[in-house]
Amino acid sequence: MKSAIVILAGLCAATVQAATPADLLTGYHTAAAQQTAGFQPSAQRGAAFHTRNFGVSAKLASCASCHTDNPAQAGRHVVTDKPIKPLAPAANAERLTDPAKVEKWFKRNCTEVVGRECSAAEKADYIAYVTGGR
Ligand code: HEC
């Protein structure tokens, strides 16, 4: 966790403006591999994570509650009913290009849905999934 933040902070400093989804994936991958030797991101695990009902919040049961089953589709906030643009960079080029924004939303959404912050491994899997490994 700490190392993910260090890597992301480094990423911000190195790129100043924007990162690519691939940069973010590399950052989380590297952090996760430091915790678990040989870790490889898995889009399949990310997909299962996306639709999993964590049983923490009845309304916000899963990531799919707001982002739909398909990250390439526009979602809708299940509480406020506000539209949410697609998460997949293929459908929304702004996605996964701002490490600070990505960290902010991972923190908020993971805390609400999973009941804790997501690990670097979970984030790597999730980005592998959202960036096209369907
Ligand atoms: C309560 C509704 C809701 C749920 C549930 C939810 N999200 Fe989100 N998510 C949002 C909103 C709102 C935004 C930010 C608005 C925007 O950028 O469109 C967002 C943004 C994000 C982003 C930022 C992407 C970017 O680069 O702009 C990521 C990553 C993300 N969510 C992942 C997740 C994950 C992982 C889960 C499940 C653990 C999850 N979300 C569950 C509402 C939700």
**Tokens, residue 62:** 């899963």
Q: How remote is the CA of residue 2 from the centroid of ligand 1, in Å?
A: 21
Encode pLDDT of 115-124 as tens digits: 999 999 999 9
Encode pLDDT of 48-99 as tens digits: 999 999 999 999 999 999 999 999 999 999 999 999 999 999 999 999 999 9
- Do 72 and 91 touch, CB atoms closer than 8 A? yes
Q: How remote is the CA of residue 41 from the centroid of ligand 1, in Å?
A: 20
Q: How many CA atoms lie within 13 A of 123 on its CB side?
A: 32
Report the nearest atom of ligand 1 relative to the CA of 79. Answer: 1
Report the nearest atom of ligand 1 relative to the CA of 113. Answer: 38
**Tokens, residue 106:** 């991972």
- Pocket probe for ligand 1: among 25, 28, 67, 123, the residue whose CB has the most ligand atoms within 8 Å is 67
